[in-house]
Amino acid sequence: MTDSKYFTTTKKGEIFELKAELNSDKKEKKKEAVKKVIASMTVGKDVSALFPDVVNCMQTDNLELKKLVYLYLMNYAKSQPDMAIMAVNTFVKDCEDSNPLIRALAVRTMGCIRVDKITEYLCEPLRKCLKDEDPYVRKTAAVCVAKLHDINAQLVVANAVAAISEIMDASPNAASVLEMNSGTINKLLTALNECTEWGQVFILDSISNYTPKDEREAQSICERVTPRLAHANAAVVLSAVKVVMKLMEMLDTGGDYVTSLVKKLAPPLVTLLSAEPEIQYVALRNINLIVQKRSEILKNEMKVFFVKYNDPIYVKLEKLDIMIRLTSQSNIAQVLAELKEYATEVDVDFVRKSVRAIGRCAIKVEPAAERCVSTLLDLIQTKVNYVVQEAIVVIKDIFRKYPNKYESIIATLMLSDENTQVQLQLLTAIVKLFLKRPTDTQELVQQVLSLSTQDSDNPDLRDRGYIYWRLLSTDPAAAKEVVLAEKPLISEETDLIEPTLLDELICHISSLASVYHKPPNAFVEGRGGLRKVLPPKSEQAEGLVEELGAQEPTAAPPQPTVIPGADSLIGDLLDMDMGSGPSMMQQQMYPAQPAAPTPAGGSGGMDIFGEGLDNLLGGGSTGGDMLGGLGDIFGMPQTQSYVPPQEVWLPASKGKGLEITGTFARKNNQINMELTFTNKAMQPMSGFAVQFNKNSFGLMPAQVAIKNNIDVFYMSTHVPLHVLFMEDGEMDKKIFLATWKDIPSPNEVQYTINNVPHNADTVSSKLRNNNVFTIAKRNVEGQDMLYQSLKLTNGIWILAELKIQPSNPSFVLSLKARAVDVYEAVKQVYENILHN
């Protein structure tokens, strides 16, 4: 006899028939009817109309029937809250049944019914069940406490905590609710030996949330957790790995104990790769993290990551990633042979990734670069189009990493019918050249542009020619950004996880976060939760990482500013490479080296495009001594002129632990960029260098590149316009008047600035501090009229009229200038200064 027959009744009037059967006197018939109801529910039919009839069947001494009715209740109670109350009495009665199975069933089901009125009645039976003589009932009741807490937190906490400590020995689940201290940890470790495999995972996960008070405690916990690495359940193993990886942070890195731990971790991780494919996948994602944190653990285990023909694709791709991470000079030959094999498989994604992997090997292991290149050339011979594409892309990276070394193979790459490609490249190259050396290539570029746009038959070439032409004639700054876009540096390790994130993920080994490689708050609903951090290293390094070990919410902890020794920083700043083409203007942050200020205005060569590509960021004369200057970089200087609050320009997550905040200010007749560097990584940083990719007019956004021992980072910054206001921006009254009249009235624009808490004089002096000069003041019909002028570093004059009514905090600002596109920015500056 099977249950499938219950699914077959699909005729009309079914509900009505069921109702009759449910109210039958015959027990068997009743039970059959309930089964039919559950079957209908299972296939998604709405059988909620039968609620009262089903609930009537609840009082039965047949356990199977009771379970079915409970199941029905869990499903429909929410839609019928009033009727659900009918069930309460039976629940309460069942909680006192002589059979522990029924007591547990009742309390478990009650907890699953998310109806407020039922919850009220749940407390009393639950309290009894928590003290039940039967451990099975207590275990079920313990979980029910959590359910109740989820439904109604207030109700529970007080009562439950007391009850939980009573049942702690019986149920490991409950222990996690309590605060951790050495005592509870000890109890948990003892309980480890005695609970089910799932219980062991819960306990290990709780332990991983605890930060021991010192190195000794960390070691003793490790000693008691490592036996779990021999558990048959993969989840127990991974949770044990998590605890050990976390506590290892606190142990002396060079010590024997850590060495022995490292040895112990590799075999269980390798064994996980013989588990079910889904578990292999989780293991591989975690191994990816582990080798980034401690590469020594698996450095000799390359072969276990070799791909097998029947591995699922998600396992293959992950194995490939780890193979590359573990590649070194000693195993490169083997790895290359494998990758070449993979590149001839049929799965396109896997093949592409394998070819890319060969390129990464070339970049990572320099002595093997030549072999990698020849392997790639072999693959190109296969003429499989996606293999060829991918191979050419990675060869390009190899060229960039090792310039002037392998270019000879270009001949092999050339294909006869790619004339257009060559022409396109030629066109781009000439435009690039022009942007770098405008003076001597102007003729050339004009010639090439006209050739490509007028004489060519190829639409692609014509299109590209027009695009360049228009770009260059309307906005040379944009042209530069587009055409000369900085290529990212070819780095040896790609896809490295930023250190702070890596540390956080290590604390989440075996969880979803560790598979996504994202912090939990990036995908877990709404709750902030505690951000997990690795415990601080033992004493000697405490100063630097104290903050990281603190178990505090990350809302606003004071960030330690870790600056690598001041001497070395100055050294690096002074050592900076100054010799680069005019387009890449390199400038020191501060103190500035004496440099000839570039004269404002066009410097020739660019005239056909109207706008000068001149230097706006001209370095002025040096001010202050070096150390004072250094102080200024890292502190917030007190100046009279308006300094916008620092903004985060480079978040730590993008800067591999380096966070940069900054702002711009005008001091001593020059523009200053004020930067604060914060080291949020677990390692010292050194070798800082800065480079500005200046754009022409306006500097917004200015591109800044920061380099340190870890990587090069790019950030774009918004330069507020007022730092460009010149000190000699005070116009002669007569000239002012003449200019005002001279500028046509369509160029005049009015803005309203609301809520200014100052009078005319304060406004005047505030603006004066920022090089906005008041030339005249008049009082017209009770209103103050201020006439002001300012001059930008590129010589553009802006005239302003500010209308102030004594009782009205809204000022009216009228601007007049020949270059109308700066108005928005000027108005923004007025707002900032007046509201400051």
Helix boundaries (H) for 635-742: 733-742
Q: How do 749-753 and 712-717 pair as beta strands?
A: unpaired
Q: Are the beta carbons of 206 and 186 closer than 8 angstroms? A: no
Question: C-alpha angle 630/632/636, rounded to 5°?
Answer: 145
Nearer to another protein by Cβ, of 369 and 513: the residue is: 513
236-275 mask for another protein (x: CB under 8 A)?
-xxx---------------------------xx-xx--x-
- Whether the ω angle into residue 701 lies within 30 degrees of 0, i.e. cis, is yes
162 near another protein, rule: CB under 8 A: no
508 near another protein, rule: CB under 8 A: yes
DSSP secondary-structure letter at 60?
Answer: -
722 near another protein, rule: CB under 8 A: no
Q: What three-state secondary structure class fits 249?
A: coil
Site for another protein in 318-357 (CB under 8 A): 334, 337-338, 341, 344-349
Site for another protein in 283-302 (CB under 8 A): 283
Torsion, Cα 317 320 321 326, to 10 degrees, reads: 160
Long-range contacts, stretch 377-385, CB < 8 angstroms, 24+ apart = 377/409, 377/412, 378/340, 379/340, 379/343, 379/355, 380/412, 380/413, 382/344, 384/351
Cα gap 576→678, rounded to integer Å: 21
Q: Shortest Cβ distance from residue 66 to another protein (Å)?
A: 9
62 near another protein, rule: CB under 8 A: yes
181 near another protein, rule: CB under 8 A: no
Q: Give the interface segment with another protein, choosing from 34-42, 411-419, 474-482, 557-565 (CB under 8 A).
A: 34-42
440-459 mask for another protein (x: CB under 8 A)?
--------------------
Q: Are the beta carbons of 593 and 619 closer than 8 angstroms? A: yes
Site for another protein in 69-98 (CB under 8 A): 71, 74-75
Q: Determine which residue in the list 523, 640, 732, 762 makes contact with another protein, applying CB under 8 A.
A: 523
Nearer to another protein by Cβ, of 228 and 791: the residue is: 228
Q: Give the interface segment with another protein, choosing from 37-45, 87-95, 473-481, 792-800 (CB under 8 A).
A: 37-45
Q: Shortest Cβ distance from residue 412 to another protein (Å)?
A: 24
Q: Shortest Cβ distance from residue 77 to another protein (Å)?
A: 11
Q: Give the interface segment with another protein, choosing from 197-205, 405-413, 589-597, 635-643 (CB under 8 A).
A: 197-205
Q: Shortest Cβ distance from residue 494 to another protein (Å)?
A: 19
- Give every CB contact of residue 697 below 8 A, 6+ residues apart in sequence: 477, 611, 616, 794
195 near another protein, rule: CB under 8 A: yes
Question: C-alpha angle 608/610/613, rounded to 5°?
Answer: 95
Q: Could you tell me the two tokens for 406? A: 């392998």
Nearer to another protein by Cβ, of 197 and 647: the residue is: 197
112 near another protein, rule: CB under 8 A: yes
Site for another protein in 481-500 (CB under 8 A): none
Q: Shortest Cβ distance from residue 739 to another protein (Å)?
A: 59
Size of the site for another protein (CB under 8 A): 112
Instruction: Please report, for residues 220, 223, 255, 599, 814, the alpha-carbon distance to residue 248 in angstroms, rounded to integers and kept in the order given.
Output: 11, 11, 11, 59, 65
Q: Give the interface segment with another protein, choosing from 109-117, 408-416, 592-600, 818-826 (CB under 8 A).
A: 109-117
Of the candidates 475, 496, 189, 203, the residue with the CA atom closest to the CA atom of residue 360: 496
Q: Determine which residue in the list 11, 12, 308, 383 makes contact with another protein, applying CB under 8 A.
A: 308
Site for another protein in 369-398 (CB under 8 A): 384
Residue-wise over 787-816: b if at least 16 C-beta within 10 A, else e?
bbbbbbbbebbbbbbbbbeeeeeebbbbbb
23 near another protein, rule: CB under 8 A: no
553 near another protein, rule: CB under 8 A: no
Q: Determine which residue in the list 36, 139, 325, 360 makes contact with another protein, applying CB under 8 A.
A: 139
Q: Could you tell me the two tokens for 103? A: 């007591």
Q: Give the interface segment with another protein, choosing from 132-140, 250-258, 657-665, 725-733 (CB under 8 A).
A: 132-140
Q: Determine which residue in the list 16, 198, 738, 824 makes contact with another protein, applying CB under 8 A.
A: 198
Q: Shortest Cβ distance from residue 552 to another protein (Å)?
A: 17
Instruction: Please report, for residues 327, 352, 534, 544, 655, the alpha-carbon distance to residue 678 in angstroms, rounded to integers and kept in the order given.
Output: 32, 39, 19, 11, 10
Q: What three-state secondary structure class fits 597?
A: coil
46 near another protein, rule: CB under 8 A: no
Of the candidates 791, 245, 188, 190, the residue with the CA atom closest to the CA atom of residue 510: 245
419 near another protein, rule: CB under 8 A: no
